[in-house]
């Protein structure tokens, strides 16, 4: 059964279109784990020699060896090839993995099926977190209930409660429900129920009507179990909310397969040598496969070729066998159990410290391994002035919903306001440099689209507070110039945005404000980090020509530009600035210049790009001022 589970997971991760529900193999693992661990613990309790310390000692000896090896390998590869921001996040997830808190870390960051999840090499450790958190409490609950003859009832009640949490939170809290032990415990408890009811491998051990029926009809039960697993693999998908009711398919299938016993027809097939061999190495295979696929995704800056993904799975199988043969087996007989536990615990603590160090040191940006591309890698880091932002928010009484608030001199009245979303923020430094050189105090207000009165139509808490920022820029007497910028694109069907933009320009111009409209930068169709060679790692996706065709950019924004021309024609006093003129020549828009990147992602400028655009803005404003003074 372990082979059935791990094959589903591997195929889904490498070729999701081939087995879209293969991720439910993890649910099968949960049932198997709950059954085996509960059977062992319940047996020891019945025999009167159960020990919590011995239980956790066995868990450490089972889980730690392969896990330590895989995380050390991930850090080693990351040291050589990952950019600082990537290594920083890897360090965070190594720390989470050592503490078995990966599921908690991940539900605060990203959904399991989000594209960003594909570049998290230790994403798969979420399932280990679920299991180990479950085993913190379940042995104690089992010990308490078994002594009172209530183990089966205890498992049943807890399973029902957990399933209710799973179904109840699925749509309101999808990420938390996927990663939470409270909403996943029922899957392990399903296996625990089997163990508590003594439904298992030996007919003599079966008890009760359910046990006798399951043994009598073991062949159809195993066929039905396999059918349910097949349905889970075929019908579950990332488009469907999960776990929820859909998780009943793999869980019920696993319960039937385990309950049918080894003599059932399907289980005889699952007990064949090749599948048993895969099952034996299923744990290290699970640990190795995802980092290999994820690192391939990172290095390739996109989905690797089918051949590379197949090679990653083959390598994972080889590494899994080597881990089992050269690490796990020898450790089982090395010295005493106490010595093994001490060694493995020390190794895990060292890894935790190493992961924390990588995170706190921002991914060690001065590593010798990445020195040749250090300047370009710095461009990927978002430059933030935390102290300035805090002072700015305090001055205007903004709470955390006001995402961006920066001011050249926080203790003085502002004279220039830049209002917009993140596409205003990514030109802030360059504009602030020029205005500051002229003694102007520029404030940057930003959350969402800087159009007047949009909050009722958007229903977005960030958009709602943008209204307050727009009002501040209008009502503050010292502000004489307002710059507006947004990533939002106009379309013929979006009459609300068109009317709101007109109203915004009307209010500011009628109030006597000088308004400058900042057009957007070209968006890329690739990740700019693919322009940076990774140390010693051949990649078919490293770009030599780090640019896009200007014609493609202009074609993609043609409708928006047409509508903007029509609107701005009614406001001739509004100035316009086009950053693309300082990022593009007549043919190409360049992502890298002067040995560094102009972009930090596919639609935001880097700090260097910000300064480059700011220099262009300064040149245009200086020329405008010169023309004005020479008239």
Going by their DSSP bridges, the two strands 481-485 and 514-518 should be labelled as parallel
368 has a pLDDT exceeding 80: no
Per-residue confidence (pLDDT) for residue 541, from 0 to 100: 61
The tokens for 455 are 């909050």
Domains of the chain: 2-368 (no CATH), 383-520+557-577 (3.40.50), 523-556+586-631 (no CATH)
Q: Average pLDDT in the 124-133 region?
A: 97
What is the Cα–Cα distance from 359 to 87, expressed in whole angstroms? Answer: 8
Condensed to tens digits (0 to 9), the pLDDT of residues 217-244 reads 899 999 999 999 999 999 999 999 999 9
Q: Lowest-pLDDT range, 80-89, 122-131, 133-142, 173-182?
A: 80-89
Per-residue confidence (pLDDT) for residue 200, from 0 to 100: 38
Condensed to tens digits (0 to 9), the pLDDT of residues 179-201 reads 999 999 999 999 999 998 864 33
Environment class of residue 395 by beta-carbon count within 10 Å: exposed (0-12), middle (13-18) or buried (19+)? middle
209 has a pLDDT exceeding 90: no
Identify the H or E element spanning 417.
strand 416-420
C-alpha 200: how far from chain center: 39
Per-residue confidence (pLDDT) for residue 594, from 0 to 100: 81
Non-local CB neighbours of 311 within 8 Å, separated by 6+ positions: none
Helix (H/G/I), strand (E/B), else coil: 481: strand
What is the Cα–Cα distance from 563 to 565, expressed in whole angstroms? Answer: 5
Going by their DSSP bridges, the two strands 481-485 and 416-420 should be labelled as parallel
Answer left, alpha or beta for residue 471, where phi above 0 means left and psi between -120 and 50 means alpha: alpha
Per-residue confidence (pLDDT) for residue 372, from 0 to 100: 64
| CA pseudo-torsion sign 195, 201, 207, 210 | positive
Per-residue confidence (pLDDT) for residue 410, from 0 to 100: 87
Confidence band, pLDDT 50/70/90 cuts, at residue 202? very low
Environment class of residue 55 by beta-carbon count within 10 Å: exposed (0-12), middle (13-18) or buried (19+)? middle
What is the Cα–Cα distance from 196 to 152, expressed in whole angstroms? Answer: 5
Non-local CB neighbours of 448 within 8 Å, separated by 6+ positions: 421, 454, 458, 460, 462, 463, 466
Contact 424, 466 (CB under 8 A): no
The tokens for 256 are 């039937």
Q: Average pLDDT in the 406-418 region?
A: 94
DSSP code for 364: -
What is the Cα–Cα distance from 284 to 124, expressed in whole angstroms? Answer: 12
Per-residue confidence (pLDDT) for residue 206, from 0 to 100: 41
Per-residue confidence (pLDDT) for residue 204, from 0 to 100: 40
Condensed to tens digits (0 to 9), the pLDDT of residues 60-112 reads 999 999 999 999 999 999 998 898 889 999 999 999 999 999 999 998 886 66
Q: Which residue has the higher pLDDT, 24 or 366?
A: 24
**Structure-derived torsion over alpha carbons of residues 301, 307, 308, 313, reported in degrees to the nearest 10:** 130
221 phi/psi in degrees, rounded to 5: -65, -40
Per-residue confidence (pLDDT) for residue 58, from 0 to 100: 95
Q: Which residue has the higher pLDDT, 410 or 186?
A: 186
SS (H, E, C) 276-313: HHHHHCHHHHHHHHHHHHHHHHHHHCCCCCHHHHHHHH
DSSP code for 229: H
**Structure-derived torsion over alpha carbons of residues 252, 258, 259, 263, reported in degrees to the nearest 10:** 140
Per-residue confidence (pLDDT) for residue 207, from 0 to 100: 47
Closest CA to 151 of 50, 257, 1, 256: 50
Per-residue confidence (pLDDT) for residue 595, from 0 to 100: 80
Instruction: Give 87-129 as a DSSP string.
Output: HHHHHHHHHHHHTT-HHHHHHTT--TTSGGGGG-TTGGGHHHH
Condensed to tens digits (0 to 9), the pLDDT of residues 271-296 reads 999 999 999 999 999 999 999 999 99
What is the Cα–Cα distance from 613 to 114, expressed in whole angstroms? Answer: 32
How many Cβ atoms sit within 10 Å of the Cβ of residue 146? 20
Confidence band, pLDDT 50/70/90 cuts, at residue 456? low
What is the Cα–Cα distance from 336 to 94, expressed in whole angstroms? Answer: 28
Per-residue confidence (pLDDT) for residue 460, from 0 to 100: 66
Per-residue confidence (pLDDT) for residue 365, from 0 to 100: 82
Mean pLDDT across the chain: 91
Contact 213, 136 (CB under 8 A): no
Condensed to tens digits (0 to 9), the pLDDT of residues 310-320 reads 999 999 999 99
Q: Average pLDDT in the 151-176 region?
A: 95
Per-residue confidence (pLDDT) for residue 302, from 0 to 100: 82
Contact 160, 185 (CB under 8 A): no
Per-residue confidence (pLDDT) for residue 475, from 0 to 100: 96
Per-residue confidence (pLDDT) for residue 548, from 0 to 100: 95
Q: Average pLDDT in the 490-503 region?
A: 92
Q: Average pLDDT in the 552-572 region?
A: 96
The tokens for 43 are 């047996």
Contact 599, 531 (CB under 8 A): no
28 has a pLDDT exceeding 50: yes
Confidence band, pLDDT 50/70/90 cuts, at residue 115? low
Per-residue confidence (pLDDT) for residue 205, from 0 to 100: 42
Closest CA to 358 of 161, 560, 79, 114: 79
C-alpha 430: how far from chain center: 31
Confidence band, pLDDT 50/70/90 cuts, at residue 583? very high
């Amino acid at each position: 059964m372990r082979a059935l589970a791990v094959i589903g997971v591997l195929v889904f991760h490498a070729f999701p279109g081939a087995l879209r529900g293969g991720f439910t193999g993890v649910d099968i693992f949960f049932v198997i784990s709950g059954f085996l661990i509960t059977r062992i613990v319940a047996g020891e309790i019945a025999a009167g020699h159960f020990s919590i310390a011995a239980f956790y000692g066995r868990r450490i000896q089972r889980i730690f060896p392969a896990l330590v090896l895989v995380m050390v390998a991930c850090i080693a590869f990351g040291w050589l090839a990952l950019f600082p921001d990537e290594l920083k996040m890897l360090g965070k997830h190594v720390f989470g993995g050592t503490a078995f808190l990966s599921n908690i870390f991940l539900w605060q960051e990203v959904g399991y099926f989000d594209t960003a999840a594909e570049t998290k090499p230790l994403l798969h450790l979420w399932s280990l977190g679920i299991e180990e958190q479950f085993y913190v409490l379940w042995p104690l609950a089992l010990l308490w209930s078994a002594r009172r003859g209530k183990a089966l009832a205890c498992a049943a009640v807890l399973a029902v409660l957990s399933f209710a949490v799973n179904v109840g939170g699925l749509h309101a809290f999808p990420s938390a429900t996927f990663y939470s032990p409270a909403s996943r415990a029922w899957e392990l408890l399903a296996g625990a129920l089997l163990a508590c009811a003594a439904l298992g491998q030996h007919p003599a051990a079966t008890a009760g009507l359910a046990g006798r029926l399951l043994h009598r009809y073991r062949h159809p039960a195993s066929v039905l179990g396999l059918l349910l697993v097949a349905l889970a693999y075929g019908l579950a998908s990332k488009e469907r909310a999960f776990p929820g009711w859909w998780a009943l398919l793999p869980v019920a299938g696993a319960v039937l397969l385990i309950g049918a016993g080894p003599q059932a027809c399907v289980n005889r097939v699952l007990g064949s040598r090749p599948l048993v061999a895969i099952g034996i190495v299923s744990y290290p295979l699970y640990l190795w496969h995802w980092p290999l696929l994820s690192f391939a995704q990172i290095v390739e800056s996109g989905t690797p070729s089918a051949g590379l993904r197949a090679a990653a799975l083959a390598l994972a199988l080889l590494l899994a066998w080597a881990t089992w043969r050269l690490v796990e087996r020898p450790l089982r007989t090395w010295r005493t159990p106490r010595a093994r536990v001490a060694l493995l615990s020390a190794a895990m603590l060292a890894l935790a410290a190493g992961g924390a160090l990588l995170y706190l040191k921002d991914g060690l940006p001065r590593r010798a391994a990445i020195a040749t591309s250090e300047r370009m890698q710095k461009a990927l880091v978002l430059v933030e002035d935390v102290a300035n932002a805090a002072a700015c928010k305090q001055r205007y009484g903004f709470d955390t919903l006001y995402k961006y608030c920066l001011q050249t001199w926080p203790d003085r009245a502002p004279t220039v306001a830049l209002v917009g979303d993140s596409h205003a923020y990514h030109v802030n430094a360059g504009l602030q440099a020029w205005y500051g050189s002229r003694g102007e105090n520029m404030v940057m207000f930003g959350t969402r689209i800087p159009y007047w009165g949009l909050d009722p139509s958007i229903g977005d808490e960030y958009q709602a507070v943008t209204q307050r920022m727009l009002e501040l820029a209008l009502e503050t007497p010292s502000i004489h110039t307002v710059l507006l910028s947004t990533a939002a694109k106009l379309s013929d069907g979006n009459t609300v945005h068109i009317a709101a933009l007109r109203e915004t320009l009307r209010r500011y111009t009628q109030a006597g404000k000088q308004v400058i409209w900042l057009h957007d930068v070209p968006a890329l169709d690739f990740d700019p980090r693919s322009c940076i060679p990774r140390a010693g790692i051949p990649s078919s996706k490293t770009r030599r020509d780090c640019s896009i065709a200007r014609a493609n950019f202009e074609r993609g924004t043609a409708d928006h530009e047409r509508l903007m021309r029509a609107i701005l024609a009614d406001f001739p006093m509004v100035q316009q600035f086009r950053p693309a003129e300082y990022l593009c020549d007549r043919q190409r828009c360049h992502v890298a210049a002067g040995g560094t990147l102009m972009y930090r992602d596919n639609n935001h400028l880097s700090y260097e790009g910000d300064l480059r655009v700011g220099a262009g803005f300064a040149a245009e404003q200086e020329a405008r001022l010169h023309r004005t003074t020479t008239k």
